[in-house]
Structure 1
Amino acid sequence: MDTCLETERLALRYLTGGSPTAPELVRERHLPNILAGYEKWGGDLGLFAAHEKDGGAFIGWFILRPEPEGPLDEVELGYRLRQAAWGRGYATEGSRALLGKAFAELGVRMVWAETMSVNHGSRNIMEKLEMTLADTIPTPPDMEMVEGSEHGGVRYEITREQWEQR
């Protein structure tokens, strides 16, 4: 396994640690984009698989990447964890490690994250990370079928200066 960042309980790795087992669409469309992102951003930014260090169970993935044509010093933080991993602090732990790396090692100026307004679990994580509510946003078209999407979304942000002062 090609580990790029570790916390007390997690190992985050690049998604190149083996042959993809996902459906054809993922193999032909999404995986090439993920790999191209690693190359474009020098291997430091992109999509990362998260595993428990004790036993290696896959718990989900994290994102730390800029918009496709955005500045490299403004990046998105994201996470999707298996339901079995919810409520165990993994999203906060992995996100905190990525924020630390972004600000201390990668020269990132600002990190942002978005979620649905009604996703209180994700909002709580962003607030634990001391991110601040920056804006309300419309629901993206690909999320309109999700329950609660009619309430729109929210965007949280944290700057390097805020991170260093916490």
Structure 2
Amino acid sequence: MSTFLETERLVLRPFTDADAEHLFALDSDPDVMRFINGGRPTSREAVRTRVLPRLLHEHPCTGTRGYWAAEEKATGGFLGWFEFRPLDDGSPAVVELGYRLNRAAWGSGYATEGSRALIRKGFTDLGVERVTANTMAVNAGSRRVMEKAGLSFLRSFTGDWPEAIEGSEHGEVEYELTRTAWERRP
């Protein structure tokens, strides 16, 4: 299986249809899904018909996919996924950073490690000019990862939630990192 990116402890690789069960297990954990949909599991059918096609999409402007399966390098165990997806299929200038890791991987620094590696690759190899990331304002863990990965708070906003979930009344936040700011970092 091809590798898109390696870090000290992670391998990021393209998804395949064989990852459906990993994704089903990940999206069946109420804690993992808490800030996505209030903790409801994603059905196997939805994984096959909605989730996997999104994760398998190729972006012509970068010649890559926008989502990668994350595996622990030492064991090959599935940890979750990372998103580094152009917001416009025709331009790599602005990408969205995201991550969804299984609970056993939380607090181990994997989200920060993978995010930093993707940011570096984006600014050095993929023509990225700006990285953006969003989460619910109350998602302190995800906000910490964004900050540790070098992104800065940009704004608070109110999203259009199809159904309100606990914490959505506090709105969402957007973080960003530009190539210029990344190049100036110490």
In structure 2, do the counterparts of structure 1 residues 78 and 142 end up closer, same or farther at CA, with 3 Å as the change threshold? farther
TM-score, length of structure 2 as denominator length: 0.80
CA contact (8 A) 1:2 1:16 kept: no
Change in 2 beyond 3 A, CA 1:69/1:39: closer
Aligned length, in residue pairs: 164
Q: Deviations over 1:89-143 (max 9, x none)?
A: 0000000000000000001000000011111111111111221111112134146
Establish whether residue 159 from structure 1 lines up as the match of residue 154 from structure 2: no
Q: Which residue of 2 aligns with 1:97?
A: 117
* Match runs of 1:24-43 below 5 Å: 24-35=45-56, 37-38=57-58, 40-43=60-63
* Residue type at the aligned position of 1:20: A
Of 76, 79, 104, which aligns to 2:96? 76
CA spacing shift, 1:54–1:142, aligned 2, 3 Å = farther
1:36-91: CA deviations, max 9, x gaps?
x2254454241111010011111111000122567421000000111110100000
Indicate the larger mover: 24-33 or 94-103: 24-33
- After TM superposition, the structure 1 = structure 2 runs for residues 1-166 of structure 1, keeping only pairs within 5 Å, are 1-16=1-16, 18=18, 20-21=20-21, 22=24, 23-35=44-56, 37-38=57-58, 40-68=60-88, 71-142=91-162, 144-145=164-165, 147-166=166-185
Listed as ranges, the gaps of 5+ residues in structure 2 are 25-43
User: Counterpart of 1:38 in structure 2: which amino acid?
Assistant: E
SS at match of 1:95: helix
Q: What is the root-mean-square deviation of aligned Cα atoms in Å? A: 2.0
Gap regions ≥5 residues in structure 1: none
Kindly indicate whether the alpha-carbon contact (under 8 Å) linking 1:75 and 1:111 is maintained by their aligned counterparts in 2: yes
Q: TM-score, normalised by structure 1?
A: 0.89
Q: 1:56 to 1:116 in 2, by over 3 A?
A: same
Give the aligned residue type for 2:175.
Y
Indicate how the Cα distance of structure 1 residues 39 and 136 shifts in structure 2: closer, same or farther if over 3 A, else same.
Answer: closer
